[in-house]
Structure 1
């Protein structure tokens, strides 16, 4: 496998580099009148590379990544071994020690080859680590997609479903092991001698069929973004009830993203109800630091009529913290 592409006037008819697995091989028939040669780009790992050769009293071989194609914030470590072989006769070769670099935008691997010969020669560059290869991420990505596909089928087709969830307007099938793995409350139902264990039935009378389907979709990894947005308040209530931390955190982060004057009081009540400190702080900041309390003054009477006294105290303290006398 190799990549085509020009190397400008520095490339020649034999500037192509062949690659297979972790080995890149460049065969050069002759330098000709030039003292410097550069290869076409080739791919090794997840980046494009170049090889160059400069001839003087000895041979200097450089291997360098294509600028702009290497991770800059956390550049991985790459290790290369170089072997230069002359066709002969007599056939000779020079093998370098391992050269190791932390890859950055244009870090060069440099080898000085003391053996000098005329005619055709071959450069083998072998990568000896696994850190520039996408295999781990690729495997994890494929495994994750495969798992989600299996879970999706299990839920959609009720494959070996062993628990029935009854809702106010319907029935859903699920799996005890999956519910127990995500929620200590569900796990307790199936471990202890409770009615859910005996009947293999869970009654959820505070959710509709659609919002409970969204809950199962989140648990099984099949929920769609629009489904989450539509049911996130119901999901938050269920996550609090069944102690599903991931759903609770996700809902809080989402509710923080679109606070406005039409929903800030409702969000503040929700934050207080479910002990969501980040959401509560966000709502108080929106109201008092950004001065949006004036936009909701008509709704404040009803809010204070139903709000918890401790929440009202926190709101008053927030007013005092931002108020500065003239």
Structure 2
């Protein structure tokens, strides 16, 4: 039989718990996320000694954060109990911080956690004996999430594995890879900035309308059977051709993403451009966010631009890179700078 609450109508356990803890609204339990970052904003712990966040999605799992105030403050991070968690518990690498949202934004940072298997709420507990008052933010940056390999051996990253499965081209047959790596009947030479390699007109033309146009008209590339790609190193060019031929490796792709993005834009290979776009979204951090933002503007990558803006402004990372941001203001495109300031002003109005 359902019980009725004086203020809430039909009794619901989660909502009743929140009423008992001080009438806090649902936003007090919400965790904001980007692809690898989670932030929980806590207004005040004075009214209670325990609080558990709503579930938030990261990788394949739903997660929770909780705080418990006793003699010290305990912060916990753990996956929600489910069949997935029982059968494939996450092996997580992450950095967790508690940041004061006061003007000085002081931060307490736990030492980096590497490849820790998390099954329940006792697997990661961080005791903090520094008194915290007022508003603060729990900031979790996931560096990697892995699951145990079904075949044994080393755990597999779900992000790397997921990327490979999504981006592998179904038509990239093993024979195409052999044609490139073994130089079977190559009929055109590509000159990179520091080396050369052979390729096949038909394959290049099938994958790129720009290459197709080169070989269809009386241009020097058709006449001389040579393509000059002087703005790419031979290593980046090899990665570019490996992707075209369906012969790429994930680590190789990660090492040459920006060069591949430029080539994809130049030669109008939309699936490669989208692959770079999606991959660059996955590991935004304070070291690369400004470069990613400029590339997003230069190559018209709206999702990346939005994510970088959100990371800088909504998640407050602009305060952590003040010197780099000042240098960015001196060199970046004026329209892009105006967009950043518009985002900052909008955030302040909504604060």
Band the TM-score falls in, shorter-chain normalisation: 0.5 to 0.7
Relative to structure 1, the CA distance from residue 262 to residue 186 in structure 2 (aligned partners, 3 Å threshold; closer, same or farther) is same
- Return the offset for 1:316: 1.2
Equivalent-residue separation in structure 2 for 1:284 and 1:147 (angstroms): 36
TM-score by length of 1: 0.55
Corresponding residue for residue 159 of structure 1: 184
For residue 262 of structure 1, the aligned residue among 268, 287, 292 is 287
Of residues 213, 222, 226 in structure 1, which corresponds to 2:251? 226
Distance 1:285 1:157 in 2: 46
Q: Which segments of 5 or more consecutive residues in structure 2 lack a partner in the other structure?
A: 1-168
Q: Is the 8 A contact 2:172 2:247 kept in 1?
A: no
Local SS of the residue matching 1:323: helix
Of 284, 287, 291 in structure 1, the residue corresponding to residue 312 of structure 2 is: 287
Runs of 4+ in 1 over 6 A off after TM superposition: none
| Closer, same or farther: CA 268–145 of 1 in aligned 2, 3 Å | closer
The partner residue of 2:207 within 156, 161, 182 is 182
Q: Among residues 174, 191, 194, which one is paired with 1:169 in the alignment?
A: 194
Q: In the TM superposition, what are the counterparts of 1:112-151 in structure 2 within 5 Å? A: 148-151=173-176
CA RMSD of aligned residues (A): 1.8
Matched with 1:203 is 228
**Is residue 249 of structure 1 aligned with residue 252 of structure 2?**
no
| Alpha-carbon distance in 2 for matches of 1:275, 1:146 | 28
Deviation by residue 1:256-277 (Cα, 9 ceiling, x = unmatched): 0000011100100111111111
What's the counterpart of residue 242 of structure 2?
217
Q: Describe the SS at the equivalent of 1:171.
A: strand
Report the TM-score, using the length of structure 2 for normalisation: 0.51
Distance of aligned partners of 1:308 and 1:254 in 2 relative to their CA distance in 1, 3 Å threshold: same
Larger Rg: 1
Aligned equivalent of 1:275, options 300, 312, 316: 300
**Structure 1 alignment gaps of length 5 or more:** 1-143
Counterparts of 1:34-53 in structure 2, within 5 Å, are none
Is the partner of 2:349 in helix, strand or coil?
A: coil
For 1:202, what is the secondary structure of its paired residue?
A: strand
Q: Deviations over 1:81-140 (max 9, x none)?
A: xxxxxxxxxxxxxxxxxxxxxxxxxxxxxxxxxxxxxxxxxxxxxxxxxxxxxxxxxxxx
1:295 partner SS: helix
* Residues paired across the two proteins, number: 184
Partner SS for 2:190: strand
- Measure the CA separation in 2 of the matches of 1:276 and 1:182: 21
CA contact (8 A) 2:172 2:245 kept: no
Structure 1 position 153, deviation (Å): 1.0
Q: For the structure 1 residues 146 and 323, does the alpha-carbon distance in structure 2 shift closer, same or farther, using more than 3 Å as the test?
A: closer
In 1, distance between residues paired with 2:346 and 2:204?
44
- Aligned position for 1:309: 334
